[in-house]
Amino acid sequence: MAIRTAKVNKPITIRRWRMNTVLLMAVLAIGSVGLRLGNLQIVQHDTLSQQARGEINQQIKIAPRRGTIRDRAGNVLALDVDRESVFVVPQQINQQNAPRLALMLASLLGKPAAEIQSALQDQTKLWVPLKRWLDPEIAKQIQKLADDEPGLRLIYEPRRVYPQGSLGAQTLGAVNFENVGISGVEGYYDDLLKGVTGTITAEVDAQQNPIWIAPQQSVPASNGADLELTIDPLVQHVIETELKAAVEKHSASGGTVIVLDPRTGAIRGMASYPTFDPNHYNEYPVEMYNQNPAISSLYEPGSTFKIVTISAGLQTRSFTPDSQVNDQGMIDRYDTTLGNFDQNGHGMITPGDVLKFSSNVGALQFNEMTGPAKFYQIVREYGFGKPTGVDLAGEEAGIVHDQKEPDWSPITLDTNAYGQSIAVTPLQLVRMAAAVGNSGKLMRPYILQKSCHSDVCTTIQPHQDGQPISPEVAATVRKMLTVSANHYADQDGTGSTFMMPGYQVAAKTGTSSIPENGGYSNDVIGSVVGLAPADVPRYAILVKIDRPKDDIWGVVTALPVYEAIIEQLLRYERIAPDPRLVGPGQVAGVAFRNGQ
Partner 1 sequence: MAVNLRQLFPLQQAKVRRSQLARYLSLDGGRYLIAAAVILSLMSLISLGQTGRLATQGYELAQMQTERTQLLRQRSALQLQLSEAASLLKIDLRATALGLRPMTPEQTHYVTIAPPIDSQDKGTTR
For partner 1, the binding residues (CB under 8 A) are: 75-76, 79-82, 136, 156, 161, 163-165, 167, 209-213, 233-234, 237, 567, 571, 576-577, 587-591
Amino acid at the residue 253: S
> Whose Cβ is closer to partner 1: residue 557's or residue 586's?
586
Q: Per DSSP, which regions of 52-151 are E strands? A: 57-62, 69-70, 76-88, 128-131
Minimum CB–partner distance for residue 209 and partner 1 (Å): 6
Contact 355, 479 (CB under 8 A): no
**d(Cα 123, Cα 453) in Å, to the nearest integer?**
47
- Give me the phi and psi of 509, to 5 degrees please: -95, 165
Beta carbon of residue 451, minimum distance to partner 1 (angstroms, whole number): 19
Nearest approach, Cβ of residue 306 and partner 1 (Å): 31
When the beta carbons of 357 and 539 are compared against partner 1, the nearer one is 539
To partner 1, the closest distance from the beta carbon of 59 in angstroms equals: 17
Closest to partner 1 by CB, 209 vs 409, is 209
CB of residue 115 to partner 1, shortest distance in Å: 29
**CB-wise, 61 or 571, nearer to partner 1?**
571
Cis amide prior to 136 (ω within 30 degrees): no
DSSP state of 514: E
Compare residues 55 and 82 and give the one whose CB is closer to partner 1.
82
3-state SS class at 160: strand
Q: How far is the CB of 53 from partner 1 (least distance, A)?
A: 20
Strand intervals (E) in 379-466: 442-443, 448-453, 456-459, 464-466
Integer Cα distance of 1 and 250 in angstroms: 141
Closest CB to partner 1 among 80 and 551? 80
Report the residue number, 234 or 330, with the smaller CB distance to partner 1.
Answer: 234
How far apart are the C-alpha atoms of 527 and 559, rounded to whole Å? 8
Q: Of 232 and 546, which has the nearer Cβ to partner 1?
A: 232
Question: Shortest Cβ distance from residue 127 to partner 1 (Å)?
Answer: 23
Q: Minimum distance between the CB of residue 246 and partner 1, rounded to whole angstroms?
A: 17
C-beta closer to partner 1: residue 68 or 438: 68
- The alpha carbon of residue 246 and the mean position of all alpha carbons in its chain are separated, in whole angstroms, by 23
Distance of CA 509 to the CA centre of its chain: 27
Q: Are 504 and 484 in contact (CB under 8 A)?
A: no
Q: How far is the CB of 502 from partner 1 (least distance, A)?
A: 9
- Which lies closer to partner 1 via its Cβ, residue 28 or residue 211? 211
C-alpha to C-alpha distances, 283 to 56, 166, 288, nearest whole angstrom: 43, 13, 10
Ramachandran sector of residue 125 (left: φ over 0; alpha: ψ -120 to 50; beta: rest) = beta
CB of 589 to partner 1, least distance (A): 5
Give the nearest distance from C-beta 309 to partner 1 in angstroms: 35
Give least dist CB 215 to partner 1, A.
11
CA distance 144 to 150: 11
| Cβ-defined contacts of 204-213 (< 8 Å, 24+) | 204/56, 204/57, 204/58, 204/60, 208/58, 208/60, 210/60
Which residues, 6 or more positions from 133, have their beta carbon under 8 angstroms from its beta carbon?
A: 83, 84, 85, 157, 159
Closest CB 283 distance from partner 1, rounded Å = 19
Please return the burial class of 253, using the count of CB atoms within 10 Å of its CB with bins 0-12, 13-18 and 19+. Answer: middle
**CA nearest neighbour of 358 among 189, 455, 480, 495:** 480
Cβ–Cβ under 8 Å, residues 542 and 527: yes
Helix, strand, or coil here: 217? strand
- Which CB sits closer to partner 1, 128 or 167? 167
Residue 97 or 201 with smaller CB distance to partner 1: 201
Between 158 and 387, CB nearer to partner 1: 158
Q: What SS3 string covers 162-207? A: CCCCCCCHHHHCCECCCCCECCHHHHHCHHHHHCECEEEEEEECCC
Q: How far apart are CA 299 and CA 396, in angstroms?
A: 11
What b-and-e string marks burial along 69-80, b requiring 16 or more CB atoms within 10 Å of the CB? bbbbeeeebbbb
For partner 1, which is the closer residue by CB, 232 or 261? Answer: 232
Least distance to partner 1, CB of residue 74, Å: 9
Query: What is the spatial distance between Cα 407 and Cα 421, in angstroms, rounded to a whole number?
Result: 12
User: In the complex with partner 1, which residue's Cβ is closer, 226 or 300?
Assistant: 226
Helix (H, G, I), strand (E, B) or coil at 531: strand
CB of 394 to partner 1, least distance (A): 26
Q: Are 382 and 411 in contact (CB under 8 A)?
A: no
CA distances from 419 to 100, 144, 156, 543 (A): 67, 65, 54, 16
